[in-house]
Amino acid sequence: MEFIDSKLQDYIEAHTEAESALLAKLNRETHAKVLMPRMLSGHLQGRVLAMLSHMISPKRILEIGTYTGYSAICMAEGLAAGGSIDTIDINEELETWLLGYFEEAGLADKIQLHIGDARQIVTRLEGPYDLVFIDADKENYSTYFDLVYDKVRTGGFVIADNVLWSGKVVATDKKIDKDTQALLDFNKKMHDDPRVENVLFPIRDGLMVLRKR
């Protein structure tokens, strides 16, 4: 995920609003106690998600891929009054952790956690959503987009994480694994889809930001 000079990255983070004490604690505990901590959104991306949420002022957010709850807590900062988040994760072992952090963040009444296969859960959820954040298994990114498209309001946003995949999307000299191919297919699909406007931001591991026309 290291796309820019480390000194420049440090400068960027030093001139970005700091994490809250709760998010810093969540960041530390994720790295200390949970497998694959690099999956955490972290400081810079978390602030970007919070800022985008403030700009959109969503009434309803859908997140596919909760992990340890960092991104959900960040996006909740921009919720409109009375707003709510549906967040889905397949890892039931993190349920107690997540509920505890949502409670500590004062968001227990705003975030509804769903444990299970997102492909099944999304079909049961009622739209419309103002913002959808996709950060789950890469093979199903295109499937998730297809499932949520009709549940996103016109003018609403879909954000997909990890679309640069540590630079593997341009590593044409190497054998392409299934996750990289899935992201290549997803990025092309989004770029070619006339129903959305798209911008790919080189933030952390790449954020594809889509606006439904």
Coil/strand/helix, residue 184: helix
| Pairing of the two strands 152-161 and 207-212 | antiparallel
Paired sense of beta strands 196-201 and 207-212, if any: antiparallel
Provide the β-strand partners of residue 113. Answer: 87
Residue 12 lies in a domain: yes
The mean pLDDT value for 45-60 works out to 98
Residue 39 pLDDT: 85
- The domain of 22 spans 6-212
Confidence bin at 1 (pLDDT 50/70/90):
low
Give the Cα separation of 166 and 79 in Å (integer): 30
Domain count of the fold of the chain: 1
- Candidate from 37-51, 70-84, 102-116, 145-159 with smallest mean pLDDT: 37-51
**pLDDT confidence band for 2 (50 / 70 / 90):** low
pLDDT grade, residue 91 (50/70/90)? very high
pLDDT score for 114: 98
Q: Averaged over 181-190, what is the pLDDT?
A: 97
Q: Write b or e for each residue in 169-188: b if 16 or more Cβ atoms lie within 10 A of its Cβ, otherwise e.
A: beeeeeeeeeebebbbebbe
Average per-residue pLDDT for the chain:
95
Percent of the chain with pLDDT over 90: 90
User: Does residue 1 form part of some domain?
Assistant: no
pTM value is 0.96
Tell me the CATH number at 89.
3.40.50.150
Residue 110 clears pLDDT 80, i.e. is over it:
yes
Tell me the residue length of the chain. Answer: 213
In a domain, 163, yes or no: yes
Q: What is the pLDDT of residue 113?
A: 98
What is the mean pLDDT of the segment spanning 30-51? Answer: 93
> Taken in order 139, 140, 141, 146, is the CA torsion positive or negative?
positive
